[in-house]
Structure 1
Amino acid sequence: MSVVFGASGCAAPTSADRYSSALGRYPGVRRVGTYHDDVYFVAQGLETGGGAPHVCAGGRHVLALEGWLANREDLARSLDLVGELPADSVMVATALLRWGREALTRLHGDFVLAWWDAVERRLLLAADRTGGRALFYHDVGGLDTGGGIVFANIPGPLFMHPLVPRVLDPAMVARATFTPSLDLQETCFRGVKQLLPGHMLDWTVGAEPRVSRYWRLDPTRRLRLRRDGDYVEAARELLDKVVKEALPREGIAVSMLSGGLDSGAVATTLARLMAPTALHTVTVRPDPASPLPAGKPRQFQDEWDHAQATARLHPSIMAHGVPATLDSLEDLLRSGFHWGGRPPVHLMAAAWMSAGWRQARRLGATTVFVGRAGNATLSASILPTALRPRLMDVPQALYTAALAASNGMNAMPYLRAFAPDWLRDWHASLRGTGAVWQRRTALRREAAERIDMDGVWCSHFSGDRRAAWGRRARLRLMERTWTARTLSACQHFRDGVERRDPLGDVRLAEFCLAIPPDQFTRFGQDRFLARRVLADRLPPEVLQERRTGRQVAEWFDWVSRHRAWLAAELDGIDASALGRDVIDVPRLRAILDDWPANADVAEPRYIQVMNVLGRGVAVGSFIRWAEGSNM
């Protein structure tokens, strides 16, 4: 992991030493490598000795690469490289010299890059296709002076530059009360943008920057094999490949291990590849000091028994169960704001997972494997949240509703998806609940009207109309999973370990989107592909589990311990002009005053307490942090 900062054009720094010194103060940075000429400057703050900007082609090109390559061996063969493989930066530079911008579609892994051509005075910025790294930029503008670009892989360094204002964008802050993954291209800071996964920015002296998408999933591609078993074998081969290629070349790898299919797929595949070397796994368990609500039929709250059962099948797995602990919520929020520049999706999630990251660091981990993207690829269901069907989609939508019912799920969301907007609005008015977004966010009505929240919500449930209805929800899930990964990409620095998720690999996603839907869900058999693929590495109690593991089951006890802090934060939000304008503070005070008696009483009010109050306070705290009032 390294911190990258660069500028070009009229934005190029006049004092490289000052920016290098500022980068050197970031946690984990041991030294700073730089390159500069009259119109371009790039600095890379490094933890170790390697990874500085790579100068090649006789000094014409400079590459700053942050991240890692997966397909090193395949890439080396294509590039005719022999002998010991060079560093990732050398391989990427060689690919760009050979294939130009087309090289981006040949690179697998998690990375962002800046590629400078000193002769043509041209800059290329690019983000990988699956959101493994983030890249932020600010267009200085001013074509009369040649314009300029300032960029960094975390937001903070951007504001070192005098031409980048640290000013909040009220519209984007309001959007953040719903979910930050709706429009990540615009950040919460005015003029600061982010390259989305699979996008690149091309800038030349004297021209405006051009952002384009260099790759997207093809929802029309189909892959048909002769037998059910052929899909299983193909998926196993691909799973082994992407996990193997994600292994770090140096350092210690640890894997998260829950009681589900996704992290189990990653951890057990790692164990087989690394054997007889021990693989340490970490399972976060509920806080023993917190009372838990009564369990729900389709959920289980402690995944340790399942994790142990998985470990027993693999002698090289050393399983560690660690209890969740409630650290300083305020400190965790502020550190998240600092590294990511956004409010969190969930008020308590970072606190709950912090015990796992601490344990990984105690085990000496430099890389922690996770399986977050598995729900969109290997363990996908064809029963995700229903999108609004067109008339031609009616047969497929009815079939999906029947499939959901056969798997013990509620079929009504798939039937309600047919309802027109006017009927939805009438029904909400009749119940006195308002629009769905009103029930789930702390946004004031006036702020919602300014950003057309009704239109935002409708767009959220439209999906990509290029795709057939049966694949549209899965396509959206994959793309939103990759976009959501960029939210946590900056948190590598806060948690002190790099996260790798091989289940989000492009090749696995393309395979899973192309094969027939019945490989994932059949009548009475959901997540059908993953259960068959993993039959050679997971125990029956995990393979046959139809419930889902629940994280932060102790949410009510944890948020109750912070009632005084929540009340103080609401006072602070009310004292901020922007906070008052965006957040419905009186509504949040009413929720805080009408506090549930215990965890069981609180469960039906989860959305109200955590989504409305919890996220509302998180966004308000972010506003105050950005304004400098709770540093």
Structure 2
Amino acid sequence: MSGIAGWLDWQRDLTTELPTIRAMTTTMTNRGPDDGGVWTSRHVALGHRRLAVIDVSGGTQPMLDGDEDSHTVLSFSGEIYNYRELRAELRGRGQVFRTDSDAEVLLRAYREWGEECVTRLYGVFAFAIWDERERTLLLGRDRLGVKPLYYAEYDGGLLFGSEPKAVLANPLFEPVVDADGLVDVFVVAAKRPGDAVFRGLREVRPGYTVRVTPDGTRQRRYWSLRSAEHEENLADTTAKVRELLETVVREQLVSDAPFGALLSGGLDSSVLCALAAADPDGTGPLETYSVDFADSETDFTADALHISRDAPYVSAVVAHLGTKHTEVVLDAPALLEEMGTTLRARDIPGVGDLDVSLYLLFQEVRKHATVVFSGEGSDDIFGGFPWFTAVSPEPAKSFPWSAGVGDRNAVLSAELRAHLDLNSAVLERHAEALREVPRLDGESAAGRRMREMFYVQLTRFLPFLLDRKDRMSMASGLEVRVPFCDHRLVEYLWNVPWSQKYTGQQEKGLLRDAVADLLPEKVVRRKKSGFPFGQNPEYLLAVRDGVRDMLSDSTSPARQLFDEGTLRAMVDSDAWSNGTYSPPPVLPRALLLDAWLRQYRIAVRP
């Protein structure tokens, strides 16, 4: 997938700033361990770190085309799945290629179609293109925001990178978090599209380009969900879903590097494994990978998002498909030791052991594969999470995954509560999201309610999942592909009514029927169960002891943000979470917040 970084300054000579652009680029080394380079001109500097997947021996970046007065330079992260078809079309239009890489296809597509080239790309991507002829920097991001891209404007210039750390490596950017950023730190999956926690830092929004010229910066939306009547019956819809899945998986199997698939034993990952294993071009058994915790048979406790252990279902899929399987067994007490690693991967406080367990899985998978499939997006487009079936007929006031969350402000210190009201902020952000929903004239109240549910799911909760998956995989130099996030599949499912998605009165009933012939019945009908997490008593005790130490440390920056009584009550309680959908446990996140404020030298200015 790779990592990109860059700097534009209309007044400064950036050819004298090589150490800084190299430092920005070096922060992306985990994203691109295979190769790296920088390119500079007077006013623009581009950096690139490469994870070689397509055309391993070619495709070096930054990639240039044209002579000195009219060159175009590209730094690109991602995969263009229809690059072969685009290359053939571009050759027919007179474009000449030097490599077999998808990066060059993007560069030539820009030379041919300009900014409009982005509408022709099928895939996941984040890129920067400097056009010397137009004196223009173009940033672009894929439709669902699978690949990240951050930027920060300042008077006379702009910094950008695949992760915040690339921008933070430039001394022009000061790490400050204000009230809006603190909402994103304390609340899970309520971030507004484009926000990025640090003051002055922005994300290129999914489905947008950002064009920077001496006259200013302009955002342009090139893709959005469009609401329309769904006219196909259930049988035709089921057949269409199967057809789309087969097409998407076939396209995304292309790789010049070792390939595998994550397997949880749930419906989503199992479907991808089944379709990949059936590929006639495969060179051997599909390699699959699962994760479990030592002693999970005795430690596992079911809750609203964790219904059953994965292991028995994984075994059933492996036996059915004949995959070459590796089970990664984690030691839960060791999770606390790696939280610093995952913090540095995300550049913001994450979700504790949920991040660490995913990172450790990817570390092991990377020993065997460079590219893997994963099932993110399926629950978001088919309605697989439990809150879809628990939806109230009344208009929602908050995000559906927040059911059971009480007073969010209770964890905040009195001083911080004077500047920050988390409860009101979440309600306002939910209201903002509903104002964005593309409505359908004449839709019933129930249909309108479900459309709102899917919209907030796709624009608030799914980005949280994709961000976590991207950071943990890229910290391991592993490319994770998410076929369910293909925009054609998302567009089609957007207008399929809930009555069809919930066929058989089971969540994701439509998907289950579409793939029923591919998997064992017990897997096809398994209820949604979330990613496993550490429930080992030693780990829970270690986290509680860590928070006690933090509360006793007068130099702790996070201590000033929390209500000490509330945290001590959590430390002394036997409960670890409230047993509902969210939020993830507070205590490990409190430790991460403290480490973040210290290590990143964050200035808190609410």
CA apart distance, 1:553 = 5.7
Q: What secondary structure does 2:39 align onto?
A: strand
- Whether 1:347 aligns to 2:355 is no
Per the alignment, residue 595 of structure 1 pairs with: 573
Q: What code does the residue aligned with 1:474 have?
A: F
In structure 2, C-alpha distance between the alignment counterparts of 1:437 and 1:445, rounded to whole Å = 17
How far apart are 1:546 and its partner, in Å? 3.2
Give the corresponding residue for 2:82.
Answer: 71
How many Å separate the matches in 2 of 1:222 and 1:305?
41
The equivalent position to 2:511 in structure 1, one of 507, 530, 534, is: 530
Give distance in 1, aligned partners of 2:486 and 2:79.
Answer: 13
Which range moved further: 100-109 or 28-37? 28-37
> Which of residues 392, 399, 402 is equivalent to 1:414?
392
Q: CA distance change for structure 1 residues 12 and 479 in 2, over 3 Å: closer, same or farther?
A: farther
Q: Distance in 2 between matches of 1:355 and 1:241?
A: 31
Contact 1:293 1:603 in 2 (8 A): no
Counterpart residue identity of residue 616, structure 1: A
Please state how far the C-alpha of 1:11 moved relative to its aligned partner.
5.6
Structure-2 change in CA distance of 1:552 and 1:11 (3 Å): farther
**1:114·1:123 contact (CA, 8 Å) conserved in 2?**
yes
Q: Is the 8 A contact 2:285 2:324 kept in 1?
A: yes
Following superposition, the deviation at residue 279 of structure 1 comes to 0.9
**Within 1, Cα distance between the matches of 2:333 and 2:570?**
24
1:77–1:67 CA distance, 2 compared to 1 (3 A): same
Partner of 1:247: 253
Alignment-derived partner of residue 127 in structure 1: 141
Aligned equivalent of 2:221:
213
Question: Residues of 1 paired with 2:404 and 2:304: CA distance?
Answer: 29
2: distance between equivalents of 1:63 and 1:247?
A: 25
Task: Tell me how far apart the structure 2 counterparts of residues 477 and 46 of structure 1 sit (CA, whole Å).
Answer: 32
| Cα separation, 1, equivalents of 2:396 and 2:375 | 35
RMSD: 3.3
Shift of 1:493: 2.9
Percent identity between the aligned chains?
Answer: 23
Aligned counterpart for 2:379 among listed residues 370, 375, 386: 375
The answer to whether the 8 A contact 1:258-1:307 is kept is yes
What one-letter code is carried by the residue in structure 1 that aligns with 2:478? V
- State how far apart, in whole Å, the 1-side matches of 2:378 and 2:185 are: 25
The change in CA–CA distance for 1:122 and 1:448 in structure 2 (over 3 A counts) is farther
| Distance across 1 between alignment mates of 2:576 and 2:181 | 31
User: What amino acid is aligned across from residue 241 of structure 2 in structure 1?
Assistant: A
The within-5 A match list for 1:135-150 is 135-141=149-155, 147-150=156-159
Per the alignment, residue 272 of structure 1 pairs with 278
Cα contact 1:347–1:618 (8 A) shared by 2: yes
The reply on whether 1:456 has 2:425 as its aligned counterpart is yes
Name 2:444's counterpart in structure 1.
none
Note the 1:1-12 alignment, pairs <5 A: 1-9=1-9, 10=11
Measure, in 1, the Cα distance between the counterparts of 2:199 and 2:142.
Answer: 24
- Answer with 484-493 or 287-296: which moved more: 287-296
1:496 aligned counterpart, secondary structure: coil
Please name the residue that 1:287 is paired with. 294
| Structure 2 spans left out of the alignment, 5+ residues | 440-447
Whether the 8 Å contact between 1:291 and 1:554 is mirrored in structure 2 is: no
1-structure distance, mates of 2:588, 2:304:
26
Tell me which amino acid in the other structure corresponds to 1:186: D
Determine which of 568, 579, 584 is the counterpart of 2:563: 584
- C-alpha separation in 2, matches of 1:66 and 1:420: 38
Matched, 1:619 2:572: no
Give the paired residue count: 572
Deviations 1:184-239 (A, max 9, x none): 5332323222212112211112x332234332111x123422x4322222111111
Q: State the alpha-carbon separation in 2 of the partners of residues 376 and 607 from structure 1.
A: 15
How many Å separate the matches in 2 of 1:297 and 1:132?
27
* The one of 267, 270, 294 aligned to 1:261: 267
Q: Does 1:112 align with 2:121?
A: no
Q: Contact between 2:179 and 2:419, CA under 8 Å: does it hold in 1?
A: no
Cα deviation for residue 370 of structure 1 reads 0.6
User: CA 1:558–1:610 in structure 2 vs 1: closer, same or farther (change >3 Å)?
Assistant: farther
Cα distance in 2 between the residues matched to 1:201 and 1:419: 33
> Would the aligned equivalents of 1:332 and 1:350 in 2 still touch at CA under 8 Å?
no
> Contact 1:3 / 1:45 at 8 angstroms: preserved in 2?
yes
How far does residue 240 in structure 1 lie from its aligned partner after superposition? Answer: 1.2
Please report the TM-score for the alignment, with normalisation by the length of structure 1: 0.82
Asked whether 1:61 is paired with 2:72, we answer yes
Range that drifts further, 524-533 or 454-463: 454-463
Which residue does the alignment assign to 2:207? 198
Compute the displacement of 1:6 (Å): 1.1
Matched, 1:86 2:100: yes
Distance in 2 between residues matched to 1:303 and 1:418, nearest whole Å:
35
Q: Separation in 2 of the partners of 1:470 and 1:608?
A: 20
Q: Which amino acid aligns with 2:299?
A: L
The structural deviation recorded for 1:167 is 3.4
Q: 2:110 aligns with which of 93, 96, 101?
A: 96
Paired with 1:45 and 1:275, the residues of 2 have a C-alpha distance of 29
Q: After the TM superposition, which of the residue ranges 499-508 and 47-56 deviates more from structure 2?
A: 47-56
Distance (Å, rounded) in 2 between the aligned partners of 1:34 and 1:260? 43
Question: Secondary structure of the residue that 1:221 maps to in structure 2?
Answer: coil
Give the AA of the match of 2:514: V
Q: Could you tell which deviates more after superposition, 298-307 or 78-87?
A: 78-87
Q: Could you tell me how far apart the structure 2 residues matched to 1:80 and 1:521 are?
A: 46
Supply the distance in 2 between the matched residues of 1:174 and 1:457 (Cα, whole angstroms): 8
Tell me the secondary structure at the aligned position of residue 372 of structure 1.
Answer: coil
Q: Which secondary structure state, in structure 2, belongs to the residue aligned with residue 548 of structure 1?
A: coil
Q: Please give the alpha-carbon distance, in whole angstroms, between the structure 2 residues aligned to 1:298 and 1:487.
A: 17
Q: With structure 2 as the length reference, what TM-score do the two structures score? A: 0.85
More displaced 10-residue stretch of structure 1: 81-90 or 618-627: 81-90
AA at the equivalent of 1:5: A
Alpha-carbon distance in 2 for matches of 1:605, 1:217? 33
> Which aligned pairs between 1:419-438 and structure 2 lie closer than 5 A?
436=405, 438=407
User: 2:264, 2:396 → 1: CA distance?
Assistant: 38
Cα 1:496–1:326 change in 2 (3 A) is farther
